[in-house]
Amino acid sequence: MEKRVTFKGIWLPILLVLPQIVITAVFFFYPAGQAVWQSLFIPDPFGLSMQWVGLGNFEYLFSDPYYRASFVTTAVFSILVTVVSMGVALYLALLADRLIKGAGAYRTLLIWPYAVAPAVAGVLWLFMFNTRVGVVSWYLGLLGYDWNHVLNEGEAMGLVVVASAWGRISYNFLFFLAGLQAIPKSVIEAAAIDGAHFWTRFRTIVFPLLSPTTFFLLVVNIIYAFFETFGVIHTITSGGPQQATTILVYKVFSDGFVGQDLGSSAAQSVVLLFLVSILTVVQFKFIERRVHY
């Protein structure tokens, strides 16, 4: 797509794109290049010289059981966050879509947690499940369940998943509701007249027609779980216990800034870079498909 009518000039447009290009070069491409470059070296302990190791950092990285475990953790975490937040959102959107009046009011009530930062969501859920003062953990104790996410790996994972999914429900709800409202009512009514009950209608008509929205949300939510949940993990578990909640992004941070292992952290950045590229390409494919529907 190109404009037919354009203005003349060469220096003016270059001047206009310059701010963005300069910032992109200085804060995006140069650091990304540095990450690739640094991933091929090991700095000496005093940071005075660098030793070329080729792909040594990567070999070391993938032979590290903690790093391999971090992949599994990230996969489990992302899938759980995506399923929980999309499941709850779809359920609520289906209910809201059945209302003739009031869907708008529920939308207002449900969308604003989008504005709550992941790190703040983390603090809220940490407070509820705190082992000493948490209300929910106290009532669980009454029921005879001894909640301790500081020691129990499964409970730690459960808590960061729920805290991450909680804030995301709004976003998914908004897109699901829009998708549902775009389905012509006549199609569903025709099926109802033919005697198809709610579950049959959902399975055979609503869900297939909703699939572009679902695919889109699937990709966007996985990207969210990969990169934007750092705040939740850092506030609630700091990656523990025994690295049970150390997702890849958290590991780049903890190895690079806490552990000061720059070569390994750079190599991890490169691996992430690779993963984001794949996710971005997938996202574009799906969005293109969404447009064609």
**Chain residues 163-222 in contact with other proteins, contact rule CB under 8 A:** 166, 169-171, 174-175, 178, 185, 188-189, 192-193, 197, 216, 220
- The contact mask relative to other proteins for 229-258 (x = CB under 8 A, - = no) is -xx--xx-------------x--xx--xx-
Interactions with other proteins, residue window 12-51 (CB under 8 A): 12-14, 16-17, 19-21, 23-32, 34-35, 38
In single-letter form, the type of residue at position 72 comes to V
Minimum Å gap between C-beta 176 and other proteins is 13
Cα 273–276–280 angle (5° rounding)? 140
Angle between helices 207-227 and 65-98 (to 10 degrees): 140
Among 61, 81, 90, 110, binds other proteins (CB under 8 A): 110
Binding window for other proteins (CB under 8 A); candidates: 42-50, 77-85, 87-95, 207-215: 87-95
259 CB neighbour count, 10 Å cutoff? 12
Minimum Å gap between C-beta 77 and other proteins is 15
Judged by beta carbon, residue 55 or residue 105, the one nearer other proteins is 105
Residues 6+ away with beta carbon under 8 Å from 77: 157, 160, 161, 164, 225, 229, 245, 247
DSSP structure string for 147-207 = --TTT-HHHHHHHHHHHHHHHHHHHHHHHHHHHHHTS-HHHHHHHHHTT--HHHHIIIIIH
The answer to whether 122 touches 159, Cβ cutoff 8 Å, is no
State CA 196 to chain mean position distance.
37
The three-state secondary structure class of 115 is helix
Binding window for other proteins (CB under 8 A); candidates: 41-49, 57-65, 91-99, 148-156: 91-99
- The contact mask relative to other proteins for 112-151 (x = CB under 8 A, - = no) is xxxxxxxxxx-xxx-xx---xxxx--xx------------
Taking alpha carbons only, the member of 78, 75, 77 closest to residue 221 is 78
Judged by beta carbon, residue 244 or residue 270, the one nearer other proteins is 270
Q: Which residue matches tokens 């990567």? A: 58
Judged by beta carbon, residue 70 or residue 235, the one nearer other proteins is 235
Minimum Å gap between C-beta 293 and other proteins is 14
Minimum Å gap between C-beta 108 and other proteins is 6
Judged by beta carbon, residue 107 or residue 152, the one nearer other proteins is 107
Among 53, 75, 88, 282, binds other proteins (CB under 8 A): 88
Burial 239-257 (b: 16+ CB within 10 A, else e): bbbebbbbbbbbbbbbbbe
Minimum Å gap between C-beta 95 and other proteins is 5
Minimum Å gap between C-beta 138 and other proteins is 4
Interactions with other proteins, residue window 47-86 (CB under 8 A): none
Minimum Å gap between C-beta 242 and other proteins is 20
Question: How far apart, in whole angstroms, are the C-alpha atoms of residue 262 and residue 207?
Answer: 47
Taking alpha carbons only, the member of 235, 254, 45, 271 closest to residue 122 is 235
Question: Count of residues binding other proteins (CB under 8 A)?
Answer: 99
- Residue 99 makes contact with other proteins by CB under 8 A: yes
Minimum Å gap between C-beta 55 and other proteins is 19
